[in-house]
Structure 1
Amino acid sequence: MVTMQQIADACGVSRGTVDRALHDKPGIRPEVAARVRETAREMGYISARLVPSMLKTWRIGVVLHSAASGFVQRLCTLFEHFPDNELLPVEIILRTMDGVDIQHQLALIDELVEIEKIDGLALMPLANTQIRDKINTLSEQHGIPVVTLNTDISDANRIAYIGPDNIASGRSAATLLGLVMGGKGHVLPITGQRSGHYADSQRLTGFAAELGESFPDIQILHPECCFLDSRLSERIALRAMEGDPELAGIYLTSVGRSGVCEALRKTGNAGKIHVVIHDITRANMDMIRSGTVDFVIGQDVQMQGTRPIHVLYDYLANRRMPEPRMQITDISVKFRCNLTDADFR
């Protein structure tokens, strides 16, 4: 059985400090108390005398859109298994949606608040002022903290954002594509949707800015949208290849990758027309291995699928605001020379 002295030794504090932290007594700094409580939980210390915030199970809602994408499916798995993998008193209530309908996302949030009675919300927000206003209402009127992930609404009253810098990701894509194209030729950007998803617009903004600044001899063709339809992205790519002999690159901001790769295979252009896509998933790694995709830009799914819950728990249990408020994931790049077995699991 774990004792208070063992907890004290693990934390490098006195037994009296542990007693004050676990029983909510004065005379201890909040950050020390939080560290002691977390260590006590990790070591399996159980006592009916523990402070209420430690005994309570916090109900945290998660809302994700674009559920058909491989990246979001990996996020779902991480959130679903979070209570099994982390020694925190949380219950995750996950809601997903296939598309990017604003009213659907609002309805899912209302269900979590009104029916499930959640204490906090981790949200992949759609790009709309109604979603911003809903976040503000949750925070200001219901006292429900919100963490945004993957994409952000910077003027909303969320306690933190955890995810990529999508503009920087777009710039990274432009640099990679510009280099393999030798700084010349035409490049076709293909977006997943025209509105609703910040990642599409922000990545395209960064991509166009970087190409214009660093590769002025590359002509960016008018962006096409596949509307989350891989068969449409295939037809878009086929038309571009048939109508533009100078087409040397294709950039996909989100979905539609499989359709473009099929078009490249059908026309024998795999490896001749360079392709850059986003998200490290097994399907995307297969596209690298087959020679149809040059680079995949990653955004740390593990951090996005776990860190929001840690931040919300710390705020709910300890009333501690996260630092920093903007927690940006690293940009990683996968190509044929650095694939590992783990990338295909």
Structure 2
Amino acid sequence: MTGQKKTTMEDVAKASGVSYSTVERVLNGRGGVAREKEARVLEWARKLKMNRQLDEVSVRWLRIAIVTQNPDAPYYVALRQGFELAQKTFETCRVTCHLTFFTDLDPRSLTSVIQRASEKADALIVVAYDHPRVIDAVARISRNIPVVTLATDLPGTGRLAYVGIDNRCAGRIAGELMGRFLGPEGGQTIVIAGLRSYLGHEERESAFRTVLRRRFPTCEVVATVENLEDERSTERLTRDALKKYPKLRGIYNLSVGEEGIARALRATKREQSTVFIGHELTDISRSLLLEGVMDAVLDQSPFVEAVRAVEVILQHYKRGTTSGLPLQTPISIYIQENLPPVS
């Protein structure tokens, strides 16, 4: 017999600086406790090695609000599937994910959507463009609940973390591939962005241009066009560019709409003579790679990003165990010859 004293609720209350009743409510999942106090109680209960399964404590449910654009684009479809998986995976941590999509790109409308989505939430995950109104709204929200930016960052908002690829690195890779594929002869290229006010898109474009200018001076970026993340407008923009620049030899699409670009290239019989680089490995981009219409695809695993973003929030609330996955997700480069098998 060691005579070692068993940790009690009174011990946890004293260490965490809250009342006994607060500890009792947290450990028995009775609710009515502020988020900060709940996290502190669970932290001290673990530190004091309280004799109970703290990871299975029936604490109140955490509601995560998720705001993204364009529910039909392949990237956002994969995100939605990732959040559905995260909710099932972390069910024992008592977390629910609520997705809200925005289609109106007016900053007033977007900030209203973000504010409404976050009103009854314990955390916010957001994919949004960089605008003073958006920055201000997210900054105000982050003072009350943890915010994770996904795919494109919003620096200066006080967000808890950014989960996604290094978009500058992605742009540099695209520039390197374009320069090498075009060869010494070089030629004219265009960039198709979704919204340049998405920081991630601006970073990709800027890095792409820098690499071509520095390492492949015979390659010239003659235009950047915005499709507003609308797949339907991508084909029209491509057709317009092909008419305006008859010597166009390269297209870097850092947004959506690969199928529309392919239709425009086929219509002008330039699908084999134009280097076409895009993002996200989907059924469509896989097919275009196999046909030789696309030359390379940069993939960032949105499915994994969604799960990791939820995990970051759970870590903040001291729930569950971390997978150890990095916040900066790796970039995979696919060409015709290294496509993974269809799952």
| TM-score of the pair, normalised by structure 1 | 0.78
Q: Kindly state the Cα deviation for residue 179 of structure 1 after the two structures are TM-superposed.
A: 0.6
Counterpart for residue 341 of structure 2: 341
User: Take 2:167 and 2:134, find their aligned partners in 1: how far apart are those partners?
Assistant: 19
Q: Kindly state the Cα deviation for residue 309 of structure 1 after the two structures are TM-superposed.
A: 1.1
User: Take 2:150 and 2:44, find their aligned partners in 1: how far apart are those partners?
Assistant: 25
User: Take 2:81 and 2:210, find their aligned partners in 1: how far apart are those partners?
Assistant: 35
Q: Residue type of the partner of 1:337?
A: E
Counterpart for residue 161 of structure 1: 162
Q: Kindly state the Cα deviation for residue 194 of structure 1 after the two structures are TM-superposed.
A: 4.7
Q: Kindly state the Cα deviation for residue 293 of structure 1 after the two structures are TM-superposed.
A: 0.5
Pair 215,191 (structure 1): closer, same or farther in 2 beyond 3 Å: same
Counterpart for residue 302 of structure 1: 303
Counterpart for residue 250 of structure 1: 251
Q: How does 1:264-343 map to 2 (within 5 A)?
A: 264-317=265-318, 327-342=327-342
Q: Which runs of 5+ in 1 are unaligned?
A: 1-15
Q: Indicate which of 28, 33, 40 corresponds to 2:46.
A: 33
Cα root mean square deviation, aligned: 3.4
SS in 2 for 1:293: coil
Q: Indicate which of 92, 98, 106 corresponds to 2:103.
A: 98
User: Take 2:253 and 2:275, find their aligned partners in 1: how far apart are those partners?
Assistant: 11
Q: Indicate which of 116, 124, 127 corresponds to 1:121.
A: 124
Deviations along 1:114-139, one digit per CA (max 9) or x if unpaired, are 3xx11111111221121211122123
Q: Kindly state the Cα deviation for residue 207 of structure 1 after the two structures are TM-superposed.
A: 0.6
SS in 1 for 2:128: coil
Q: Residue type of the partner of 1:191?
A: A
Pair 244,110 (structure 1): closer, same or farther in 2 beyond 3 Å: closer
User: Take 1:138 and 1:277, find their aligned partners in 2: how far apart are those partners?
Assistant: 34
Deviations along 1:201-235, one digit per CA (max 9) or x if unpaired, are 22111110111111011121122233444454333
Q: In 1, are the aligned partners of 2:46 and 2:54 still within 8 Å (CA)?
A: no
User: Take 1:21 and 1:341, find their aligned partners in 2: how far apart are those partners?
Assistant: 54
Counterpart for residue 76 of structure 2: 72
Q: Residue type of the partner of 1:175?
A: E
Pair 130,271 (structure 1): closer, same or farther in 2 beyond 3 Å: same
Q: Kindly state the Cα deviation for residue 41 of structure 1 after the two structures are TM-superposed.
A: 7.2
User: Take 2:200 and 2:284, find their aligned partners in 1: how far apart are those partners?
Assistant: 20
User: Take 2:45 and 2:217, find their aligned partners in 1: how far apart are those partners?
Assistant: 55
SS in 2 for 1:327: coil
SS in 2 for 1:341: coil
SS in 1 for 2:304: helix
Counterpart for residue 133 of structure 1: 136
Q: In 1, are the aligned partners of 2:115 and 2:137 still within 8 Å (CA)?
A: no
| TM-score of the pair, normalised by structure 2 | 0.79
User: Take 1:289 and 1:24, find their aligned partners in 2: how far apart are those partners?
Assistant: 64
2:86 is aligned with 1:82: yes
Q: Kindly state the Cα deviation for residue 74 of structure 1 after the two structures are TM-superposed.
A: 0.7
Q: In 2, are the aligned partners of 1:59 and 1:90 still within 8 Å (CA)?
A: yes
When the two structures are aligned, how many residues end up with a matched partner? Answer: 309
- Ranges of 4+ aligned residues in structure 1 off by more than 6 Å: 21-24
User: Take 2:107 and 2:70, find their aligned partners in 1: how far apart are those partners?
Assistant: 12
